[in-house]
Amino acid sequence: MGGSLVYKNILFCTDFSDDAHMAFVHALDLTRKYRAKLYLLHIIPPLNPCGVPPDTSHTDKPASPSENIHQIQQQVLKAMIKQYVHALDEQDDYDIQVCTGSPDIEIIRFARRFYIDMIILGAQGRPEKDRRIFIRTAANVSKFAPCQVIAIRSPKDQVPDTATTL
């Protein structure tokens, strides 16, 4: 007992929900406090989670060419820069990453790969009608991550200013 906590690498995961925006405020605060490196991560749900293209043989419409993961990645990166990077101010030591896969699996894989000491993410996520994927990301990351996890719940009247810039 009595040892001080050291966090060198902090991972902030966003799904662009109100909870995630509030989690960003905490992530930035802790990053500054511990002079850590901040990783900003968004996981794009896979177009073909089973590894095979969807069966469109019974439809007239072929798979949309706009379903291009690289285009989506570029759009996400732009959104992350607009939403979060502009709010980093003097926090120079950061990295932005966009991955594809099941969010819980990819967040944990990322945490192992980059020796993350703490993961901060939104607790609730987007409202059900807006969801792209229905897995219990925050709960699973909290249980299975190799490091500390903070899941932030944002009361409706406490959405941070950064959220309004979207």
Enumerate binding residues for another protein (CB under 8 A).
Answer: 13-17, 19-20, 42-56, 58-61, 64, 66-69, 71-72, 75-76, 79, 83, 100, 102-105, 108, 121-126, 128, 130-140, 143-146, 151, 166
**Closer of 2 and 113 to another protein (Cβ):** 113
- Supply the minimum distance, in Å, between the C-beta of residue 129 and another protein: 9
**Closer of 64 and 164 to another protein (Cβ):** 64
- CB–CB of 122/20 below 8 Å? yes
Alpha-carbon distance values, 144 to 88, 101, 106, 119, 163 (Å): 29, 16, 12, 12, 29
- Supply the minimum distance, in Å, between the C-beta of residue 159 and another protein: 14
- Supply the minimum distance, in Å, between the C-beta of residue 110 and another protein: 13
Distance CA 42, CA 91 (A): 19
Residue 79 CB neighbours (<10 A): 15
Residue 55 CB neighbours (<10 A): 7
**Closer of 87 and 105 to another protein (Cβ):** 105
